[in-house]
């Protein structure tokens, strides 16, 4: 009798196990199973193209500290570099290119020709001969190459005006050098055009002492670093979310494994401070 009872219990257990396996197999066939353990649903959604705005906001809220940290580091670095750099000042003059004539009327063709000539004059200001003359006049301890790197010249479009900009660490020296460029260049032009219809260059707006440096600009650099930091931080947050293979909910674990969730073990936090106080 004992042998018969054991056989019946064993037979029932086998039937129950077979029934459970068939049910699990049915669930596996109907449910989409990812064979990779710990697969990330975020990665699967990104690959399939099914990704909503709510998912994006959830990722941003979850990893907001990363975005804030990256932005804060870049802003701090930008402000630190701005404070370390030496301030640079820039002064400017505006020169007018003209032509001496016996009559007061100037044909339209000559005006167009002077505008084209102004482009050539702008290039002549950036020549080594002008740089050497200004360096000698102002007794500057720089080479012509370094001088030309701090010099910026351009024609105002569709006019006969040339703008000259010079940068220096001293605002007074920037003004003095810019003034010397205008004087040297006008003298060189007058020496090369002595005829009756000579080309003239006149300093229309003299150089002024700059009050504020053109670089560095801490506020601008900080704003630019903040924008770049937010973009990089957001990209890093999505990358970490994509690489994260942990399961964040029972539904996600059930969807990945295909096995139903039978129970949950809650996480209980014990406040040690209150417990000691009560004791």
* 219-250 pLDDT per residue, tens: 899 999 999 999 999 999 888 888 876 666 66
- pLDDT tens, 209-227? 999 999 888 889 999 999 9
Q: What is the pLDDT of residues 49-98, one digit of tens each?
A: 555 777 788 888 888 999 999 999 999 999 999 888 889 999 999 999 98
Rounded to whole angstroms, the Cα distance separating 22 from 28 reads 10
Q: Are 55 and 42 in contact (CB under 8 A)?
A: yes
At 162, phi and psi to the nearest 5? Answer: -120, 130
Domain ranges of the chain: 31-85+216-261, 89-205
Task: Please tell us whether the domain made up of 89-205 is placed in CATH 3.30.70.1130.
Answer: yes
Residue 195: band (very low, low, confident or very high) from pLDDT cuts 50, 70, 90: low
Cα separation, 208 vs 194, in Å, equals 31
pLDDT of 158 > 60? The answer is: yes
Q: What is the pLDDT of residue 64?
A: 92
Distance CA 149, CA 129 (A): 15
């Amino acid at each position: 009798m004992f042998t018969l009872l054991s056989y019946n219990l064993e037979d029932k257990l086998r039937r129950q196990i077979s029934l459970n396996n068939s049910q699990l197999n049915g669930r596996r066939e109907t449910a989409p199973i990812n064979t990779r353990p710990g697969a990330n649903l975020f990665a699967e959604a990104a690959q399939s193209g099914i990704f909503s705005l709510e998912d994006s906001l959830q990722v941003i809220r979850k990893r907001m500290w990363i975005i804030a940290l990256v932005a804060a580091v870049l802003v701090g670095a930008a402000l630190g570099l701005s404070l370390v750099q030496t301030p640079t000042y820039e002064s400017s003059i505006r020169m007018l290119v003209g032509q001496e004539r016996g009559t007061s009327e100037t044909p339209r063709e000559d005006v167009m020709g002077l505008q084209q000539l102004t482009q050539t004059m702008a290039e002549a200001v950036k020549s080594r001969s002008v740089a050497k003359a200004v360096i000698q006049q102002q007794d500057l301890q720089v080479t012509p190459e370094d001088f030309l790197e701090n010099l910026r010249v351009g024609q105002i479009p569709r006019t006969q005006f040339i703008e000259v900009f010079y940068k220096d660490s001293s605002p007074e020296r920037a003004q003095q050098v810019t003034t010397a460029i205008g004087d040297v260049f006008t003298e060189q032009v007058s020496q090369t055009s002595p005829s009756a219809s000579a080309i003239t260059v006149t300093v229309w707006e003299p150089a002024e002492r700059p009050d504020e440096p053109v670089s560095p600009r801490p506020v601008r650099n900080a704003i630019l670093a903040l924008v770049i930091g937010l973009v990089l931080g957001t990209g890093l947050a999505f990358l970490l979310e994509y690489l994260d293979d942990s399961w964040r909910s029972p539904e996600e674990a059930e969807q990945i494994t295909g096995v139903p969730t039978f129970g949950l073990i809650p996480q209980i936090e014990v406040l040690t401070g209150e417990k000691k106080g009560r004791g």
